[in-house]
Amino acid sequence: MQDFNRRKFLQKSLLIGTGLILLPKLSKGNLLNIENIDISVVTGNNYFENTVKAIEQLGGISRFASRGTKAGLLVNFTGQWTRPSTYVNPEIVLAVLKMLNDAGVKEITYLVPPMAGYFKKNKKSAQYESIINTVKSNSGEFKEIEIPKGVSLNKALIIKDLFDCDVFINISINKHHSGTLFTNSLKNYMGATKRETNLFFHNGPEKKEGQEDMTFLSQCIADINLVRKPDLCISDATEILKTNGPFGPGEVIKPGKVYASSDPVAMDSYGCTFLDYRPEDIYTTVMANKHGIGRIDLKNLNIKETSLIN
């Protein structure tokens, strides 16, 4: 009897111990993506709702950001983008801010500052003004980071705040880019790097005027993505600039989609198809896949598509 009780006690202890080990993971929701969805895609006219649903399908925001953590947002919404379909729709950022706030994160920081009047572009912003006002700007300080596995890029100056946050969320816009054919999650990383690092991406170690090298630029983008993989990527494919990107103006199509994944390579592999490319046509995607950052085999990915259009 005594032995049995001891056995039972040991079994219970083991269960509790295992539970304690798994609890943080469970609380982060790692096991909540029951369907093992690689990319969650939601179509609809309400881009705020599309964003919430896209994250829900991946297991909810608590899978990525739990109470008391610090979140860093890298959003493609800086000052130079003013034309239709060149910057992330504010509704998508508002939805992320609300979800993070509801999840009880301690702090949210913009890794790049938004353009002046960004949230005023959308009426919903007024409703979330109190949350918008709590978001911190980045420090403006850059840190030199070694990239030992980089092929073309071995060091880079990256915004310091990227390394101070617990959760890194990459919010990009899916659009044409004349320099790399396509831009989305992978290229958005260049928003976190200092201008001189970005110029190196474009010009290479020796500046050759008029001799832009798409391969070099793409390799640098793949290399910079080795630094820190985003915990969550969200992409705006509500309206897509299909030609003359990234600045525009050009042809705009309106798929009305928001999609999300924790794999930036899978994000780009899916996103480039809106521009009639295959993942293997895009150097950044191929090179980032070679680095082992994510998957390019679109056919084998579990893509969950939901429509919110009634």
Partner 1 sequence: MNFPLMQMRCFSFIFLISIFNSTAFADGLKNYFPKNEEIKNWKQADTLKIYKGDELFTYIDGGADVYFEYGFKQVATVNYSNKENDQLQVEIYEMKDSSAAYGAYSFYLNGEGKKLIAGTDGMFFDYYAVFWKSNLLVVISAPVPNEKIIPVIENIAGYISTKIVNIYHPPLIVSKLLQSGITESSIKYFKGKVGLSNIYKFIPGNAFYFNEGVSFNMPETKVIIFRFNSDSVSVNQLSEALNKMKESNKDAKFISTDNAFDYQDFKANQIKCLAFKNYILVTISKNDEIRNLNIEIVKKVLN
CB 260 → partner 1: shortest distance, Å?
A: 24
Cis? peptide before 246, omega within 30° of 0: yes
Contact stretch for partner 1 (CB under 8 A) within 61-69, 89-97, 99-107, 173-181 = 173-181
Q: Three-state DSSP class for 269?
A: helix
Residues 272-301 binding partner 1 (CB under 8 A) are 278, 281, 283
Residue of 63, 177, 257, 295 interacting with partner 1 (CB under 8 A): 177
- Residue 11 CA to residue 59 CA, distance in Å, equals 30
Q: Which is nearer to partner 1, 65 or 287 (CB)?
A: 287
Task: Kindly state the tokens that stand for 152.
Answer: 């073309």
- Report residue 25 CA to chain centroid gap: 21
Does the protein bind partner 1 through residue 80 (CB under 8 A)?
yes
CB 190 → partner 1: shortest distance, Å?
A: 8
Q: Which is nearer to partner 1, 164 or 281 (CB)?
A: 281
Query: What is the full DSSP assignment across 23-88?
Result: HHHHHTTTT--TT--SEEEEE-S-HHHHHHHHHHHTT-GGGT--TT-EEEEEES--TT--STTSS-
Query: What is the full DSSP assignment across 176-222?
Result: EETTTEEESHHHHGGGGB-HHHHHHHHH-SS--TT---HHHHHHHHH
Residue of 202, 228, 229, 291 interacting with partner 1 (CB under 8 A): 202
CB 15 → partner 1: shortest distance, Å?
A: 53
CB 86 → partner 1: shortest distance, Å?
A: 10
Q: Which is nearer to partner 1, 106 or 207 (CB)?
A: 207
- Residue 272 CA to residue 183 CA, distance in Å, equals 8
Does the protein bind partner 1 through residue 84 (CB under 8 A)?
yes
Residues found near partner 1 in the complex (CB under 8 A):
80, 82-84, 176-181, 183, 187, 190, 195, 198-199, 202-203, 209-210, 212, 214-215, 217, 242-252, 278, 281, 283
